[in-house]
Amino acid sequence: MIQLDKSTQRIAAIDWLRGIVMILMALDHTSWFFNTNRIFADSVLLYETGDLFAADQFLTRWITHICAPTFVFLAGTSIAISNIQRREQGISNSVIDRELLLRGAFIALLDLCVFSLASGKFILQVLYAIGISMMLMVPLQRLGARVVFFLAALILAGSELLLTALWQPGGEVPLWLALTFAPVFGETYTVLYPALPWLAIMMLGWVFGERLMSRQPGLWPLERLLMVSGLSALVLFVLIRSIDGYGNLFMHLGGNTVVHWLHISKYPPSIAYIALELGLMAIIFALLIRLESAKAVISHNGPILVFGQTALFFYLAHFGVLAALRLVLEHGGLEQTYWITLLVLIILYPICRIYRSLKWHYPQSLLRFL
């Protein structure tokens, strides 16, 4: 059974998983800043048929694919857990809804303002998708877990059908479609994370959070639920890639190597991508819950836990660290990418610990939005 940290009202397995994601994300973004041969071809818009990839470069990029789906899924899980805990404390639904709306708006505006200003054009990335999804979760959670799960499955399964009818990769994309389903890499604006597929992932995470907090008797243990769900998702991935039709979002098999099988669409997320990454996430999550249930020694200052408990702050701060390091370090290959990633994590660890202490000491301050 998952253990709740009495002092912080947090679940260690969730923070561990989020911390692992932060470390992998730092690797990907360090590669973006410093790796001269970085691969970025996770979409039909970015890939030329027949392109060959160096296996080490491809796998360095691929292992970070789990980051965004896991982060968004856990955001949904955290919303469900937090809302239930706050209701038990006597906080009204209107206050809870207002806080969620404000936090979602704040996170979305970080992309619209901070990152767009730094990029010199409007750019909507994962923070836009998370923020908008949080705001939409306010009315959606009123529908109940079963309806939310059905709607999430409908969005994920039907997105490709909609895009096939409305989207020509490389052609003109209306703004409403760019904001909701289809990515755009333009000169005036870029949308990497159209909101609705990622909203569906957050909805799944919210449903899981409701299940995690449920006190109904006779339910499957969480480890079994996650393991069965994860293995089922991986089977679905294998089926989709084997059939090589619907579910790949135009990123069809170019061969029968491991690289070809794992080269799937993230922009926008295909069913194959979501099944693979959420499947792997669920299995890792189950193992972490088992580790927590075994009452393993939990260091409250362990780097993975600290990074997981300060995830949004880590996300913002690591860009500042990378920008500073780029002033003094040169581009290089994978070896340099990995050791610079380690340097980034070493720099961020004490900063994140200080931030965590401040946030816990002043729980009603503006720091709560991070």
What does 5-61 look like in DSSP terms, one character per residue? ETTTTEEHHHHHHHHHHHHHHHHHHHHHHHBTT-----STTT--TT----HHHHHHH
Query: Which of 269, 200, 207 has the alpha carbon at shortest distance from 237?
Result: 269
Let me know the angle formed at the C-alpha of 348 by 342 and 351, rounded to the nearest 5 degrees. Answer: 160
**pLDDT confidence of residue 30:** 98
Spatial distance between the Cα atoms of 288 and 285, rounded to a whole number of angstroms: 5
**pLDDT confidence of residue 7:** 39
Structure tokens at 362: 């002043």
**pLDDT confidence of residue 148:** 97
* Tens digits of pLDDT across the chain (370 residues): 444 443 345 689 999 999 999 999 999 999 999 999 999 999 998 887 777 899 999 999 999 999 999 999 999 999 999 999 999 999 999 999 999 999 999 999 999 888 888 788 889 999 999 999 999 999 999 999 999 999 999 999 999 999 999 998 888 899 999 999 999 988 888 999 999 999 999 999 999 999 998 877 777 888 999 999 999 999 999 999 999 999 999 999 988 899 999 999 999 999 999 999 999 999 999 999 988 877 655 678 899 999 999 999 999 999 999 999 999 999 999 999 999 999 999 999 999 999 999 988 887 776 666 6
CB burial of 306-341 (b: ≥16 within 10 Å; e: otherwise) equals: bbbbbbbbbbebbeebbeebeeeeeeeebebbeebb
Domains of the chain, by residue range, sit at 4-369
Strand 189-191 to 184-185 pairing: antiparallel
